[in-house]
Amino acid sequence: MNKYLIIFILFLTSIKANALIEVDITRGNLNPLPVAVSPLSIDENSKKNFKKILKKNNIGSEISIIIENNLKTSGLFNPLDKDAFLQTPDIANLKPRFEDWSLIKAQALITGKVSYVDEKLRVEFRLWDVLAGKEMMALAFTTVPNNWRRIGHMITDKVYERLTGEKGYFDTRIIYVAEEGPKTNRKKKLALMDQDGSNNIFLTYGNELVLTPRFHPESQMVTYLSYFQNRPRVYLLDIETGNQEVVGDFPGMTFAPRFSPDGKKIIMSFAKDGNSDIYTMDLENRIVQKITNHPSIDTSPSYSPDGKYICFNSDRSGYQQIYIMKSDGSNVKRISFGNGLYGTPVWSPRGDLIAFTKLHKGKFYIGVMRIDGSGERLLTENFYQEAPSWSPNGRVLIFYRETKTNDKGEGFSAKLWSIDLTGYNERLVNTPTDASDPSWSSLLSN
Amino acid sequence: MLRIRNIDQGAIMKINKILKNAFLITFAAVALSACAGSQKAGQMQSDVYTGTDTVEYLASGVKDRVFFATNETVLTTAARETLRKQAAWLRKNSKITIILEGHADERGTREYNLALGERRANAAKDYLMTYGISSDRISVLSYGKERPVDSGSSPLAWSKNRRSVTVKAN
């Protein structure tokens, strides 16, 4: 990921401090902002070169489609039908005729230009406020041609941030478990894809059971549970090199791994003699620290973004509940008190909320609560769903669902779903096979 | 010699009615007990599977598994009886080592279920040890909810999956 060059050229013109168009993402959005995403203009010579290198007829159009799809899936924007556009891409990029665009009810307009320069892909884009008739943002990116999809995602992030005031989440990846086969003998592989479902690849072959993969906050490393040689242990995998190693030298099952926010430690559960406690291991000096010390099951640990606290799942009160403690294991406090069982707590990257899975009266819920346990809000209910993971801006949750089977055990499927923090915009996330255990990366461009 | 008589029609109707009532009562009794479904004797008791559909045998009369109630890791009376038989067989076959595989049903979160399976298998291990089986003959492996034996979505299916299975390691 660090091998290719991305040069960021900023040429800011008339950026207003207070946006005229604003999108409020704190409440359910029933009026997505109409936005026109013009295909990016491209000169004939560049078009020919990119067609040769990337096998795409019109890379300007392709990039605009990525932006369009991203904006649409966010649920906050309504990209307008291109067939209604009156201005051609090259003219629109230079000087849009705002009347033409407001005629089709666009409030925001994205235009741009793609060129082939020094064997690189250069993309300029502009964001326009149609009603005010003003340019809101102008940026350019230069990178290797193979990175064209990421440019589309990065542009979306910039537009999203400009219009909502929040950082975007489009230049990200999802790691998950790809599943196939009958329920009684499921074949599972680690899989990785862009957040929009593209560039899906498998990282393992499916010969051993793999579960719960999680991203390192910065680098291309992943931690997960593998049953390699029938010994369930937490592993570390470098995506780029394919190198795998067992984490630590534990004489029993380790599971439920995550990275600390600074990426220096792995936190996980270790089970022995019927008891599961939470441990950390420093990746540099390999020092292992025991964090919980209780005869109950302590698992699913998740750090606060500042690394000072840990939320986790424990049945020390009799049944699965959510607790928080300081990162050294002191000050353990229960925070879930509603009716039902609580599991899979995950601390939001914004630090203000903890998402969780709840089981009550035979139904599964994905919900959030404040870090003191107050303000519990259930976002969605289903026959079976669990394991929410936060987008890096703390606004969207991805999780997975499984369906019921009939008497013959048929009809089983597992799929990834996402939902906004507001409870709106619940949608299926496309994967080539059945899928579970999703985990969202941080922004790649950080 | 067969005597053929004119059978009284009224009598026939009466007999038919008695037979019909008897049939209906029998049918109702069968239907009611079928409706009781999974709670029927031999299938489930207090949420613990008591049937033998999925049970295999380590040796004649020695069942290979024990079952648990939802969220529980406590051994039932039936479980202890099965484990005592396993212990007796293991004492007689002292070279055999075993793996206790612990499982959970799908109605719980994945990571917690891994821990629950481990605790169930350890409950069985502790019991075998009290009956003289050395801990170096026993290893424990949890599959959480990953390897159900019944892929159905019913309480009966789930009860078959909440189990600790004894598997020969050598």
pLDDT tens-place string over residues A332-366 = 999 999 999 999 999 999 999 999 999 999 999 99
Flag whether B3 is in a domain: no
pLDDT > 70 in chain A, percent: 94
On whether both A292 and A183 belong to a single domain, the answer is yes
Flag whether B22 is in a domain: yes
| pLDDT higher at A201 or A445 | A201
On whether both B79 and B60 belong to a single domain, the answer is yes
On whether both B24 and B56 belong to a single domain, the answer is no
Q: Which residues make Cβ contacts (< 8 Å) with residue B15, sequence separation at least 6?
A: none
Please report the pLDDT score of residue A144 as a whole number: 97
State pLDDT tens for residues A98-130: 999 999 999 999 999 999 999 999 999 999 999
What is the residue whose two structure tokens read 């067969």?
A: B2
On whether both A195 and A287 belong to a single domain, the answer is yes
Please report the pLDDT score of residue A193 as a whole number: 98
Please report the pLDDT score of residue A1 as a whole number: 43
CB atoms B109 and A230 under 8 Å:
no
**Number of structural domains, chain B?**
2
Mean pLDDT of B105-128: 98
Comparing CB atoms, the residue among B115, B126, B141 nearest residue A299 is B115
On whether both A23 and A72 belong to a single domain, the answer is yes
CB–CB contacts below 8 A, A to B: 103
Place A9 in a pLDDT band, splitting at 50, 70 and 90. Answer: very low
Please report the pLDDT score of residue A140 as a whole number: 96
Structural domain harbouring A187: 173-440
CA dihedral (A83, A89, A91, A92) positive or negative: positive
Please report the pLDDT score of residue A385 as a whole number: 98
Please report the pLDDT score of residue A211 as a whole number: 98
Q: How many beta carbons lie within 10 A of that of residue B158, not counting itself?
A: 22
State pLDDT tens for residues B53-92: 999 999 999 999 999 999 999 999 999 999 999 999 999 9
On whether both B55 and B85 belong to a single domain, the answer is yes
Please report the pLDDT score of residue B4 as a whole number: 40
On whether both A177 and A160 belong to a single domain, the answer is no
Comparing CB atoms, the residue among B115, B123, B140 nearest residue A297 is B115
Residue A11 has pLDDT above 50, yes or no: no
On whether both A268 and A196 belong to a single domain, the answer is yes
pLDDT > 90 in chain A, percent: 88
Residue A51 has pLDDT above 90, yes or no: yes
On whether both A360 and A253 belong to a single domain, the answer is yes
On whether both B64 and B110 belong to a single domain, the answer is yes
On whether both A68 and A25 belong to a single domain, the answer is yes
On whether both B32 and B113 belong to a single domain, the answer is no
Mean pLDDT of A173-183: 97
Residue B26 has pLDDT above 60, yes or no: no
Q: Report d(CA B128, CA A345) in Å as an integer.
A: 36
Flag whether B107 is in a domain: yes
Contacts of A255 in chain B (CB under 8 A): 111, 114-115
Please report the pLDDT score of residue A13 as a whole number: 40
Please report the pLDDT score of residue B162 as a whole number: 98
Flag whether A432 is in a domain: yes
Please report the pLDDT score of residue B23 as a whole number: 61
**B73: distance to nearest CA of chain A, Å?**
9
Place A94 in a pLDDT band, splitting at 50, 70 and 90. Answer: confident
Please report the pLDDT score of residue A276 as a whole number: 98
Please report the pLDDT score of residue B38 as a whole number: 44
Mean pLDDT of A136-141: 96
On whether both B121 and B143 belong to a single domain, the answer is yes
Mean pLDDT of A1-10: 47
Flag whether B1 is in a domain: no
Among the candidates A164, A189, A216, a domain finishes at: A164
Please report the pLDDT score of residue A59 as a whole number: 96
Mean pLDDT of A43-68: 96
Flag whether A177 is in a domain: yes
Please report the pLDDT score of residue B18 as a whole number: 67
Comparing CB atoms, the residue among B110, B118, B154 nearest residue A212 is B110
Structural domain harbouring B21: 9-37
Please report the pLDDT score of residue A31 as a whole number: 87
Q: Report d(CA A266, CA A280) in Å as an integer.
A: 6
Flag whether B157 is in a domain: yes
Flag whether A445 is in a domain: no
Place B9 in a pLDDT band, splitting at 50, 70 and 90. Answer: low
Whole-number average pLDDT of chain B: 86
Residue A410 has pLDDT above 90, yes or no: no
**A408: distance to nearest CA of chain B, Å?**
7
CB atoms B153 and A405 under 8 Å:
yes
**Number of structural domains, chain A?**
2
Q: Does A182 touch chain B (CB under 8 A)?
A: yes
Flag whether A313 is in a domain: yes
Q: Does A271 touch chain B (CB under 8 A)?
A: yes
ipTM of the complex: 0.92
Whole-number average pLDDT of chain A: 93
Residue B1 has pLDDT above 60, yes or no: no
CATH number at residue B87: 3.30.1330.60
Structure tokens at B21: 């009532």
Please report the pLDDT score of residue A154 as a whole number: 98
On whether both B105 and B28 belong to a single domain, the answer is no
Residue B118: closest CA among B142, B101, B100, B139: B142
Residue B32 has pLDDT above 90, yes or no: no
On whether both A127 and A183 belong to a single domain, the answer is no
CB atoms A299 and B146 under 8 Å:
no
Flag whether B54 is in a domain: yes
CATH number at residue A374: 2.120.10.30
Residue B42 has pLDDT above 60, yes or no: no
Nearest-5° Cα angle at B2, B1 to B8? 145
On whether both A43 and A83 belong to a single domain, the answer is yes
List the 379-408 stretch of A: residues with Cβ below 8 A of B: 383-384, 386-387, 402, 404-407
**B67: distance to nearest CA of chain A, Å?**
16
Flag whether A30 is in a domain: yes
Flag whether A446 is in a domain: no
Most A-contacting residue of B47, B101, B103, B112 (CB-CB within 10 A), to test interface? B112
On whether both A204 and A302 belong to a single domain, the answer is yes
Flag whether A2 is in a domain: no
